[in-house]
Structure 1
Amino acid sequence: MIRLVDVCKSFGDKEVLHHINLTIEDGETLAIIGGSGSGKSTLLRLLIGLIRPTSGEIWIGDTEISRLSEAELDKVRLHMGMVFQYSALFDSMTVGDNVAFGLREHTDMPEKEVQRIVEEKLNLVGLENVAHRMPNELSGGMKKRVSLARAIAFEPEIVFYDEPSSGLDPIMTEKIDELISHTQQALNVTSVVVTHDMASACRIADRIAMVYEGELIAVDTVENFKNIRDERVQAFFHTLRTVKEA
């Protein structure tokens, strides 16, 4: 589904990502972890085509996207859904209009069908009867759910999540993790989750990839990842354990 081949990214003289090679399988959930400034967010921006690599190739299915025009990229993005770190809802629109936004912008779908999809996707994320409400009436967790409903309205093949547990308490974080897993199973999508939360990554992922100072230092299943002896991986686990104990 997704393949990065020897991808490098520099901003001026600073190399942020160094020779990244990674394959994300069709239908799997991959968690990309790393500390602040590790390069994981830059990697996500490359995958959705917001920025382009300095060198290397990025394949989405059979399409190499790094050299596409913006119009061509937009066609590829129609197969993607994006859940932003801070939900990125339109404050002046109702919940229903937020979920319907992409459908109205990019299709000629009859309004009756748009409303059916909005209701269906809100139900899927556990938000029945909230389409008429405004974003400022919702909790942080509910906003994340609306953002996910909007992301899957197009029936995407890939859903990207940028720090989905950011700003949420541990109980709500677990609920969002359950929702990510449920969405993957219900829609059979490929999910890519960028997170600094190792506990969350272990709950939702089939595999974990760790980025450290711009390099991809480890990729493995959750069970195997826990046993990687690389001191940088273990330091990340130790830091998280220390935070939890505190």
Structure 2
Amino acid sequence: MPNTKPDAAPTSASQTKRDESPVAVRIEGLSKSFGAHEVLRNVSLEVAPGEIFVLMGPSGSGKSVLLKHIVGLEAPSAGRVTVDGLDAADPATRHAVHMALVFQAGALFNSLSVYDNLALYLREHRLGTETQIREKVRHALKILSLENAERKSPAELSGGMRKRVAIARALVMEPQLMLYDEPTSELDPIMSATISEIIATLKTQTRVTTIVVSHDRDLALGIADRVGILMQGELLTIATPAELRRSTDPRISDFLNPQINLSSPRFKQLETAKTS
């Protein structure tokens, strides 16, 4: 059974009406270096309230580092990131704006049931009585079609179900801004499509601003309002999916539609190394 506590009067935090309106994100001249290594160079972009913005790029292009700046886990070397007009690097912003980050690996607690994973944030912040928390948790589980999983441990679930639990856990926070770090990684094509549909549906249902870091071409071109492409720490372009499909920039077409060339010098070098 879910771990429950007796109902108690909500604290002032739970009595205060939570602002659920979507927020804007603005990045101005963002640069970030770790020692001599420059990861981001003069990146500027805006994400509109209620938009699905997907950030793509090769591995090591700085996508996850940029995401960490938005949630305030990294401070810029230069430039500024604001969420709802507030400095993302200021810890107070995380209290003023309701943000939820869905980690690539899910970051679930295997020692807790699915139900208790979802209830943890609400209990820790005393956001309602146990009855109110139960209603929110079960509502989120229903939206993600996880009603039959609430008593299970995350270790008992498939990769796709763990992703859905992580999204449900973010959903109970009633976020104004949802951020996803590679939400379809390590999933089969069918489950990747399911997760993509869930992200798009949640945006429609909750009007939440959504930022997704992903390598998944089908996700980006299928659900994004706009897509930003980072390469070597620089923002190459921001475009709609339709504009990206029509792009004649070879860097974009090569990234979105890579070709396997068995006659390439690199492949021949590998073949030579295998036989030597």
Q: Structure 1-normalised TM-score?
A: 0.93
Which consecutive unaligned segments of at least 5 residues does structure 2 have? 1-23, 262-276
Q: Which residue of 2 aligns with 1:195?
A: 214
Q: Which of 79, 95, 98 lines up with 2:98 in the alignment?
A: 79
**Do the aligned partners of 2:229 and 2:238 also contact (CA within 8 Å) in 1?**
yes
What is the CA-CA distance between 1:108 and the residue it aligns to?
4.3
Query: Given the alignment of the two structures, is residue 40 of structure 1 paired with residue 60 of structure 2, yes or no?
Result: no
Q: Give the total of aligned pairs.
A: 238
What is the 5 A alignment of 1:67-216? 68=90, 70=91, 72-76=92-96, 79-216=98-235
Deviations 1:168-217 (A, max 9, x none): 00011001111111111111111101001112211111111000000001
Distance 1:108 1:181, change over 3 A: closer
What is the CA-CA distance between 1:104 and the residue it aligns to?
1.0
Q: Which residue of 2 aligns with 1:6?
A: 29
In structure 2, give the amino acid aligned to 1:62: G
Query: Given the alignment of the two structures, is residue 232 of structure 1 paired with residue 270 of structure 2, yes or no?
Result: no
Moved more, 134-143 or 225-234: 225-234
Query: Given the alignment of the two structures, is residue 29 of structure 1 paired with residue 20 of structure 2, yes or no?
Result: no
Measure, in 1, the Cα distance between the counterparts of 2:35 and 2:243: 37
Counterpart secondary structure, 2:162: helix
CA RMSD of aligned residues (A): 1.4
Deviations 1:61-118 (A, max 9, x none): 121222x2x3x14314x51111110111000000000011111112341111111100
Measure, in 1, the Cα distance between the counterparts of 2:59 and 2:107: 21
Measure, in 2, the Cα distance between the counterparts of 1:231 and 1:205: 21
Percent same amino acid among aligned pairs?
Answer: 39
Q: Which residue of 2 aligns with 1:65?
A: 88
Q: Structure 2-normalised TM-score?
A: 0.83
What is the CA-CA distance between 1:129 and the residue it aligns to?
2.7
Distance 1:99 1:221, change over 3 A: same
Which consecutive unaligned segments of at least 5 residues does structure 1 have? none
Counterpart secondary structure, 1:129: helix
- Greater Rg by CA: 2
